[in-house]
């Protein structure tokens, strides 16, 4: 189905709104491939097409939602009926309502690569096999490759409402991922490598392989460090995760509902002068770039923290109305089984002037963190408590010393923000809602 | 059924779900959804081809089957006729009140009752989020080994999350319940009680001090810490990790891998528990599998693919999130059997340590055995007494070491809260359980100096 016919379908459903009713239809079609290889053979190859629809109905300031994994006409009709019925059970809320066109022009973004659609399956398979082979050949201490894979997806979607919204977008993405296992049974370490792009030409297989090998092998012989309070240097992959957590606390709906750490701190200093956090889905280089938000409004550049000062929260249409402001076009959909909520798409921190090595040299002693675990179980975005498992390298006299594992690092989100002592120049685009860069934070509790 | 492969399988699924969310004092959303489709798997040699479709017409299924067979590099042409035999499976959980027969208004009413109770629990409760969910998943599996099996899985759940405000900032408390039964869940479980527990947890934590930083004895309350075993050894006993030699438990059957006090079981047949199934998603009957007996590793968990390689039967652990996913080895209800000690005595015998009353989720690296899990309600133990509440933190340990360091196991037992286990992007419902027990040394990831 083409973009145009998807948009027409969404408009058709929105057009079924009855008097006094607002209807929003989100429709999408996707195609994806997943190749897993092991020991030089294809372990599995999956390919499939999927279709999905999510319908919101607002009537008498009450909202209902329904979804389905099919675009068959009978399913669409049933989904609309369900959403309509569900609206009757929600509480009345004067701020509930769909977005309406606000005159902001959408960024012109080219997120689709035709060459991915025509990329032959046997070449995808060959890439995954080559990735595994490169990792095995990368170092004699690599004893296993837990998983090496190729994945790709092409998705077209459209949103239309009875309030005049019409938006459509299509995007492609492909990935190579590999998990290397180094060492023997008495000392095993793992390292993850990947490369992601919109099309095959964006992928860097050698870098993915080299990353996995280096990360696994440099941890060999890792010891449990002694408990201490230390300066921690986070690699870009980790900071992308941290920025995502931070953005969750800057969501306008959480602020309104009394769940944000930063609720009454607009205009106040929450970080150091060198820290500026931006969410800019109009940036074509951002992985999460998108011309429209989940409600069909044109996305825009939102500066959340500027020079350490808290500048703005993210809003979707509902939260903005309730806060007496305008949407920042930050509606996102967490899958298709729920209606839009608020969230960031393309976060990044404005890079500093120091390279990662210069940061290490300046801080002298500390710990470089290459992976963290337990983010969902150890980070509480409401209280701000932060505690995660970690692996990495000790830093002594400004250089990497021995590897360390099986320890935690802990602080609070608030203290970490004000404890930033280094922002790297190495902005790295990552397959998430945030870009990463090397970031140093002082006085973090390390438990070993 | 036509196949040129060694094995062909069709898995069809029809799932309906209803959810309702109350937040900030308002019923925000009632959501209903339907997904149906089929996944087709063809295995040739070591290669699995897979395709899925939401088009259940004959044409749609044939297209998907061709795609799966093509993916598995089908040799082509061979026609085998297979006679299907219905699999005898344990009776599925008995459902008295199908949620789809319950008025939406009754589901919404539960949310309001929870909200009112939570807010009435204490003046510091500033925010309440309550979630109701039910789903019905009907599956049918047929394969070229002649298996024909079906199941009708109904699950109902409820969760309350509260935010309390105090001088020290905000704190959270959560409580949830879920079972493989219908709406009769709410005859057995009071949503008011869940709401009160969630609210009290948040209020208690307002006076919590930072958790310790360092290695301490940790006592884990019955029912709250099954996730420890899920992460410390459950994932490492899944045969796919074993086959690839990326588990610290590879090649260790028959050996002592845990304290002799530990007997670990995975049991999909525990009727009505959150991880209960009559058949797994490959059509194999659910089973009770003893994984560790008196500290000795007895067996791993198996799906069809990995069992075939070893020339043995599946253990009924082949599961998938939905028809769009390939099955793999997954846990069901995983628990440690009760021991002999009085749980109060365990605390009294612990001079200085941490008592964990509720755990959140966790994560493990099966290749290294290192795992973390989060504590969401915990207290300091001083001189054998529970004293101050502690703020949230993760604990970290190494699976085999932690299993050896379990030095006392209580004579109580409880299953815990419903969990969703994530593996390679697929989430499946799992149950966990354990008696009160103590790990003699575990690293607590707090900030206290």
Mean pLDDT score, B316-336:
96
B102/A contact by beta carbon, under 8 A: no
Mean pLDDT score, B304-308:
95
Query: In the numeric block, which tokens belong to residue B220?
Result: 């884990």
Helix (H, G, I), strand (E, B) or coil at A135: helix
**Whether the predicted pLDDT of B70 surpasses 90:** no
The number of beta carbons lying within 10 Å of the beta carbon of residue B57 is 10
The number of beta carbons lying within 10 Å of the beta carbon of residue B384 is 15
Q: How far apart are CA B150 and CA B129, in angstroms?
A: 36
Do you know the residue count of chain B? 449
What's the angle, vertex CA B140, arms to CA B137 and CA B142, rounded to 5?
A: 155
Query: In the numeric block, which tokens belong to residue A287?
Result: 């992985």
The number of beta carbons lying within 10 Å of the beta carbon of residue B16 is 18
Distance of alpha carbon B39 from its chain centroid, rounded? 23
Q: Which residues are CB-contacts of A103 (< 8 A; sequence separation ≥ 6)?
A: none
Report CB contact under 8 Å: B370, A189: no
Report CB contact under 8 Å: A144, B246: yes
Interface mutation vs chain B, best among A29, A150, A383, A431, most B CBs within 10 Å: A383
Do you know the residue count of chain A? 448
Spell out the alpha helix ranges (H) of B178-303: 185-188, 191-205, 226-229, 239-243
Q: How far apart are CA A136 and CA A39, in angstroms?
A: 10
Query: In the numeric block, which tokens belong to residue B99?
Result: 């949620």
The pLDDT value given to residue B73:
62
**Whether the predicted pLDDT of B82 surpasses 80:** no
Q: Which residues are CB-contacts of B275 (< 8 A; sequence separation ≥ 6)?
A: B180, B268, B331, B332, B333, B334, B428, B429, B430, B431
Query: In the numeric block, which tokens belong to residue A202?
Result: 């964006």
Helix (H, G, I), strand (E, B) or coil at A116: helix
User: Which positions in chain A touch B36 (Cβ < 8 Å)?
Assistant: 69-70
Helical axes A205-218 vs A121-138, angle rounded to 10°: 30
B84-119, pLDDT tens digit by residue?
777 777 777 789 999 999 999 999 999 999 999 999
Q: What are phi and psi of A420, to 5 degrees?
A: -65, 125
User: Which residues in chain A show pLDDT less than 70?
Assistant: 1-3
**Whether the predicted pLDDT of B6 surpasses 50:** yes
User: Which positions in chain B touch A261 (Cβ < 8 Å)?
Assistant: 169-170
Mean pLDDT score, B173-181:
96
User: Which positions in chain B touch A340 (Cβ < 8 Å)?
Assistant: none
Q: Which of B51, B367, B396 sits opposite A46 (nearest CB)?
A: B51
B213-261, pLDDT tens digit by residue?
999 999 999 998 888 899 888 999 999 999 999 999 999 999 999 999 9
B401/A contact by beta carbon, under 8 A: no
Q: What are phi and psi of B27, to 5 degrees?
A: -75, 105
Q: How far is CA B142 from CA A182, A248, B92, B242, in A?
A: 40, 44, 18, 27
Task: Quote the DSSP letter at residue A318.
Answer: H
Residue of A nearest to B107 (CA): A89
Domains of chain A: 3-218 (3.30.2290.10), 222-448 (no CATH)
Q: Are A344 and A334 in contact (CB under 8 A)?
A: no
Residue of A nearest to B248 (CA): A185
Query: In the numeric block, which tokens belong to residue B338?
Result: 């009760």
Domain with CATH 3.30.2290.10 in chain B: 7-205
The pLDDT value given to residue B360:
87
Q: Is the pTM of this model over 0.95?
A: no
Distance of alpha carbon B310 from its chain centroid, rounded? 26
What's the angle, vertex CA B353, arms to CA B347 and CA B359, rounded to 5?
A: 85
Question: What percent of chain A is predicted at pLDDT more than 70?
Answer: 99
**Banded model confidence at residue B81, pLDDT cuts 50, 70, 90:** low
Query: In the numeric block, which tokens belong to residue A300?
Result: 């825009």
Strands A62-68, A41-59: pairing is antiparallel
Q: Are B342 and B411 in contact (CB under 8 A)?
A: yes
pLDDT mean across residues, chain A: 95
Q: How far apart are CA A35 and CA A128, in angstroms?
A: 7
User: Which positions in chain B touch A339 (Cβ < 8 Å)?
Assistant: 29, 31
What H or E segment, with its residue span, contains residue A7? helix A3-14
Residue of A nearest to B243 (CA): A146
- CA-nearest of A429, A106, A430 to A293 is A106
Q: What are phi and psi of B237, to 5 degrees?
A: -100, 10
Sign of the torsion formed by the C-alpha atoms of B62, B65, B70 and B73: negative
A34-80, pLDDT tens digit by residue?
999 999 999 999 988 899 999 999 999 999 999 999 999 999 999 99
**Whether the predicted pLDDT of B286 surpasses 70:** yes
What H or E segment, with its residue span, contains residue A361? helix A356-363
Helical axes B191-205 vs B104-121, angle rounded to 10°: 30
The number of beta carbons lying within 10 Å of the beta carbon of residue B186 is 19
The pLDDT value given to residue B78:
46
Q: Are A242 and A342 in contact (CB under 8 A)?
A: no
Q: What are phi and psi of B3, to 5 degrees?
A: -155, 140
| Count of alpha carbons within 13 angstroms of residue A231, beta-carbon side | 21
The neighbouring-strand residues paired with B172 are: B163
**Whether the predicted pLDDT of B173 surpasses 70:** yes
B134-170, pLDDT tens digit by residue?
999 999 999 999 999 999 999 999 999 999 999 889 9
Report CB contact under 8 Å: B34, A78: yes
Spell out the alpha helix ranges (H) of B206-329: 226-229, 239-243, 304-309
Q: Which of A44, A63, A144 sits opposite B50 (nearest CB)?
A: A44
Task: Quote the DSSP letter at residue A119.
Answer: -
Mean pLDDT score, B405-430:
95
Instruction: Please report the ipTM that was assigned to this predicted complex.
Output: 0.90
Q: What are phi and psi of B316, to 5 degrees?
A: 80, 25
**Domain covering B7-205 in this structure, CATH number:** 3.30.2290.10
The pLDDT value given to residue B29:
84
B269-283, pLDDT tens digit by residue?
999 999 999 999 999
The number of beta carbons lying within 10 Å of the beta carbon of residue B407 is 15
User: Which positions in chain B touch A63 (Cβ < 8 Å)?
Assistant: 28-29
The pLDDT value given to residue B77:
41
The neighbouring-strand residues paired with A314 are: A251
In angstroms, the separation between the Cα of residue A425 and the nearest Cα of chain B is 30
**Whether the predicted pLDDT of B358 surpasses 60:** yes
B150/A contact by beta carbon, under 8 A: no
Q: Which of A150-154, B253-257, B367-371, B435-439 has the lowest mean pLDDT?
A: B367-371
Report CB contact under 8 Å: B396, A445: no
B64/A contact by beta carbon, under 8 A: yes
Residue of A nearest to B205 (CA): A383
Mean pLDDT score, B58-75:
75
Q: Are B271 and B151 in contact (CB under 8 A)?
A: no
In angstroms, the separation between the Cα of residue A353 and the nearest Cα of chain B is 31
Helix (H, G, I), strand (E, B) or coil at B428: strand
What H or E segment, with its residue span, contains residue A244? helix A236-248
Q: How far apart are CA B303 and CA B314, in angstroms?
A: 5
């Amino acid at each position: 189905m083409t973009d145009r016919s998807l948009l027409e379908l969404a408009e058709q459903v929105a057009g079924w709104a009855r008097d006094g009713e607002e209807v929003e239809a989100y429709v999408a079609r996707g195609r994806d491939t997943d190749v897993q290889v092991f020991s030089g053979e294809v372990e599995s190859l999956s390919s499939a097409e999927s279709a999905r629809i999510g319908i919101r109905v607002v009537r008498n300031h009450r909202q209902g939602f329904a979804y389905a994994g099919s675009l068959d006409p009978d399913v669409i009709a049933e989904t609309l009926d369900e959403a309509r019925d569900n609206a009757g059970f929600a509480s009345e809320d004067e701020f509930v309502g769909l977005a309406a066109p606000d005159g902001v022009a959408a960024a012109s973004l080219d997120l689709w690569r035709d060459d991915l659609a025509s990329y032959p399956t046997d070449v995808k398979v060959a890439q995954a096999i080559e990735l595994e082979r490169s990792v095995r050949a990368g170092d004699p201490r690599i004893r296993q490759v837990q998983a090496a894979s190729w994945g790709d997806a092409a998705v077209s979607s459209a949103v239309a409402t009875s309030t005049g919204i019409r938006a459509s977008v299509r995007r492609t993405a492909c990935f190579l991922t590999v998990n290397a296992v180094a060492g023997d049974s008495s000392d095993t370490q793992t390292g993850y490598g990947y490369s992601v792009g919109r099309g095959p030409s964006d992928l860097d297989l050698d870098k993915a392989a080299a990353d996995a090998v280096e990360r696994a092998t440099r941890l060999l012989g890792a010891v449990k460090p002694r408990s201490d309070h230390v300066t921690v240097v986070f690699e870009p992959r980790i900071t992308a995760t941290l920025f995502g957590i931070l953005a969750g606390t800057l969501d306008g709906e959480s602020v309104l509902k009394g769940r944000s750490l930063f609720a009454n701190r607009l205009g106040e200093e929450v970080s150091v002068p060198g820290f500026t956090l931006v969410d800019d889905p109009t940036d074509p280089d951002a992985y999460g770039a998108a011309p429209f938000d989940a409600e069909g409004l044109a996305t825009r550049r939102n500066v959340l923290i500027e020079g350490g000062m808290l500048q703005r929260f993210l809003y979707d249409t509902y939260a903005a109305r309730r806060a007496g402001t305008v949407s920042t076009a930050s509606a996102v959909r967490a899958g298709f089984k729920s209606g839009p909520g608020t969230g960031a798409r393309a976060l990044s921190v404005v890079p500093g002037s120091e390279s990662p090595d210069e940061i290490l040299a300046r801080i002298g002693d500390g710990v470089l963190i290459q992976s963290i675990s337990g983010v969902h179980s150890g980070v509480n975005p409401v209280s701000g408590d932060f505690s995660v498992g970690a692996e990495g390298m000790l830093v002594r006299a400004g250089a990497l010393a021995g590897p360390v594992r099986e320890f935690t690092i802990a602080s609070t989100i608030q203290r970490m923000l004000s404890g930033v002592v280094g922002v790297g120049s190495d902005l790295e685009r990552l397959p998430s809602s945030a870009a990463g860069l090397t970031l140093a934070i002082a006085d973090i509790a390390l438990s070993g | 059924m036509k196949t040129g492969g060694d094995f062909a399988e069709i898995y069809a699924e029809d799932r309906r779900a209803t959810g309702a969310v109350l937040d900030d004092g308002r019923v925000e959303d009632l959501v209903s959804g339907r997904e149906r489709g089929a996944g087709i798997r063809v295995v040739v040699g070591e290669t699995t081809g897979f395709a899925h479709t939401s088009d259940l017409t004959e044409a749609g299924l044939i297209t998907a089957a061709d795609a799966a067979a093509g993916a598995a590099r089908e040799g082509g042409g061979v026609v085998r006729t297979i006679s299907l035999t219905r699999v005898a499976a344990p009776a599925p959980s008995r459902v008295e009140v199908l949620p789809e027969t319950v008025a939406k208004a009754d589901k919404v009413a539960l949310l309001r009752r929870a909200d009112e109770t939570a807010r009435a629990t204490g003046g510091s409760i500033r925010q309440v989020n309550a979630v109701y969910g039910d789903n019905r998943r009907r599956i049918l599996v047929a394969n070229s080994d002649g298996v024909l099996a079906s199941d009708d899985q109904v699950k109902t759940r409820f969760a309350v999350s509260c935010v309390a405000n105090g001088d020290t900032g905000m704190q959270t408390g959560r409580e949830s319940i879920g079972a493989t039964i219908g709406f009769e869940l709410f005859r057995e479980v009071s949503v008011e009680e869940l709401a009160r527990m969630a609210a009290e947890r948040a209020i208690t934590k307002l006076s919590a001090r930072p958790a310790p930083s360092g290695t301490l004895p940790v006592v884990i309350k019955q029912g709250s810490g099954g996730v420890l075993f899920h992460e410390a050894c459950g994932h490492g006993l899944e045969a796919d990790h074993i086959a690839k030699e990326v588990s610290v438990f590879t090649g260790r059957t028959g050996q002592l891998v845990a304290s002799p006090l530990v007997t670990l079981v995975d049991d999909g047949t525990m009727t009505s528990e959150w991880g209960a199934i009559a058949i797994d998603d490959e059509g194999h009957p659910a089973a009770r599998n003893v994984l560790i007996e008196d500290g000795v590793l007895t067996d791993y968990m198996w799906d069809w693919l990995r069992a075939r390689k070893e020339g043995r039967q599946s253990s009924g652990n082949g599961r998938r999130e939905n028809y769009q996913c390939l099955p793999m080895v997954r846990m069901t209800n995983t628990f440690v059997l009760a021991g002999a000690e009085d749980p109060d005595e365990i605390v009294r015998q612990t001079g200085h340590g941490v008592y964990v009353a509720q755990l959140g989720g966790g994560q493990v690296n099966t290749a290294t055995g290192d795992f973390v899990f989060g504590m969401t309600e915990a207290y300091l133990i001083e001189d054998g007494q529970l004293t101050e509440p502690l703020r949230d933190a993760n604990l970290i340990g190494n699976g085999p070491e932690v299993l050896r360091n379990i030095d006392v196991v209580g004579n109580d037992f409880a299953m815990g809260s419903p969990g969703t286990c994530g593996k390679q992007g697929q989430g499946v419902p799992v149950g966990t359980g354990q008696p009160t027990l103590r790990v003699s040394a575990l690293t607590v990831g707090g900030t206290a100096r």
